[in-house]
Amino acid sequence: MTHREPCRSSPGRPPSLIARPLMFWAGVALTCAGVGQHVWMFVDSRSMGFHMAMMGMSGVMWAAMAAIVAGVVISGCAVVQSPGPAPAGTSAADGTPRAHRRRLIGVLSFALLVDQMKPATLAFIQPGMREEFQLSAAEISWLPTVALSGTVVGSLLGGRSADRIGRRATILIASLLFLGTTVCGAMPTFGGILVMCALMGMAAGGMLPVVYALMTESLPPGRRAAVMVLQAGLTTTGGYMAAAGLASLLIPLTGWRVLWFAQLPLVLILIALNRWIPESAAFTTQRARREQVRASALFKHPHTTSTLVVSGYALAWGLVYWGFITFLPSQLEASSEGGMSAATLLFLSSLLSVPTCVVAAWLYRRWSAKGTMVIYAALTVAALLVLAAVGMDGSEPVLLTAVILLFAGTAGVIALIGPYTAEIFPLAIRGTAGGWAAAVGKSGGAFGPPLIALVLSAPGGMRTAALLVALPTAVAGGAVALRGSNPRTDEGSPEEGARLEAELDALVRDEAAAVERGDPTGPQGAGTGARPPE
């Protein structure tokens, strides 16, 4: 069978960024038709107060759902480029025109904003959903659990996909999933909502690590650290505040379901801006000249230590954020001395994220990457120890100070972990590493809340819980200090860069030799047994 070029262009005309553009836009149109039918069903329910519970899935709704699935699959297949030689004129990050870099930063920041709005919306739809479906507290708790589980799966799949089919293709596929899952607002059953939320979580989890990988490969080393840290922190804050603003405006008018459809224009804008999301030149060159590396390379020399350090740091953040902070508002409101409402606490956390991220970005670039991570981990530990010492019955100024420190520390941690992971791992497994770190952090949402709930039922309550999450955070910060690498130092050393390239080449050769020998375990018996890419 002859190999056919995925797309050709006439001389002097740049090649299409999408392998099969007509196929892609046809799929988008089909998806929009299915989503539009669901929007009409929602509008048609206004006579019932926009309550669609237990209406059942009509034949038209099933047909619209089939159109969405078909459209997403068609468009997803259209964006995948076949491996081939690197395009002529491919340049490194330093050679990318400044205007192009600014557009890329703007579009990817917008993508992260949309990405963060999806999970943030869950907090605002739960009260209305619980009332409409008459759900118990235990039943409604399945919503964030399923959504977070979806982000874990999506982070793993998205990260690996970025290293196999490309950064740009993975971002577009996640955007297509965002488009399709907006129909969550028209689901007539709670089970249907859970399915849509799981898929939405997969899209959200899949986009985050890929954006950081693309930013790392598209921006000059001297500036990208500060840009990425600011981008990570500010889009997290902006996503929450945008979701909160839409909720305050729209829910009183049309109920909770409209929050899903309100994000539809943003997703369409993101897809329309795809021409300003070029594929990473470094990834294109790497893909053209050698075999892809297995995901198991994360746990082999020389990346084992980095993987463990990043995993510990991400897991510690997940336990603090998804475990301890989840229960903090209710515990403060229940205390006689705290007197702080959950709304005030959430507003405070969002407000503090802005200066915290600015300081983190400055320290990360001007001083030390791993040193900055250690400082924010130490800040988090200090706040937890104060809360463990005074409990929820301490004086209000002490509690307020501890809460401020806790939110400042965790905001810095989440702003740092994604960019740091993207910078310390080599290009061939950068997406996989970012996806792994994101999945480990989100996994704290799976077992963190049940663990903290169990601790709260025992003597000691929040004091014991604070100590419980402070310990792994301290260990994670110590691991970064002792065994973590500094990407700025590593990147500035030609010898270090050459060493990493040589080790990666050796790893690829060993895996290829193992496959030729018929050894399913790969080099050193540690492989996954997966077939090499064709």
- Give the residue from 425, 416, 434, 389 showing the smallest Cα distance to 507: 425
Please give the pLDDT value at position 12.
Answer: 39
* CATH 1.20.1250.20 location in the chain: 21-45+65-78+99-270, 298-491
- Interatomic CA distance for residues 516 and 518, integer angstroms: 5
**pLDDT by position in tens, the chain (length 534):** 444 444 444 443 344 578 889 999 999 999 999 999 999 988 888 878 778 876 777 888 899 999 999 999 999 999 987 765 544 444 445 445 677 888 999 999 999 999 888 888 887 888 889 889 998 877 888 888 888 899 999 999 999 999 989 999 999 999 999 999 999 989 999 999 999 999 999 999 999 889 999 999 888 877 788 899 999 888 888 888 888 888 888 988 888 999 999 999 999 999 999 989 988 888 888 777 665 678 888 998 889 999 999 999 999 999 998 888 877 776 776 665 445 555 566 666 667 778 888 999 999 988 999 999 999 999 999 999 999 998 877 777 888 888 888 988 988 998 999 999 999 998 889 999 999 999 999 888 778 888 888 888 888 888 999 999 999 999 999 999 999 988 854 444 444 444 444 544 555 455 445 544 554 444 443 433 333 333
What pLDDT shows up at residue 2?
43
Tell which residue, 167, 174, 191, has the closest CA to residue 422. 167
pLDDT at residue number 236: 82
Cis peptide before 302 (omega within 30 of 0): yes
21-45+65-78+99-270 is a CATH 3.30.410.10 domain: no
Structure tokens at 462: 């929040």
Rounded to the nearest 10 degrees, the angle between the axes of helix 190-218 and helix 142-164 is 40
What single letter denotes the amino acid at residue 217? E
pTM: 0.81
Helix, strand, or coil here: 189? Answer: coil
Question: What is the predicted pLDDT for the residue at 466?
Answer: 94
Residue 171 has which token pair? Answer: 């971002």
Taking only the tens place, the pLDDT of each residue in 96-114 is 567 788 899 999 999 999 9
CATH for 298-491?
1.20.1250.20
Q: What is the pLDDT of residue 491?
A: 44
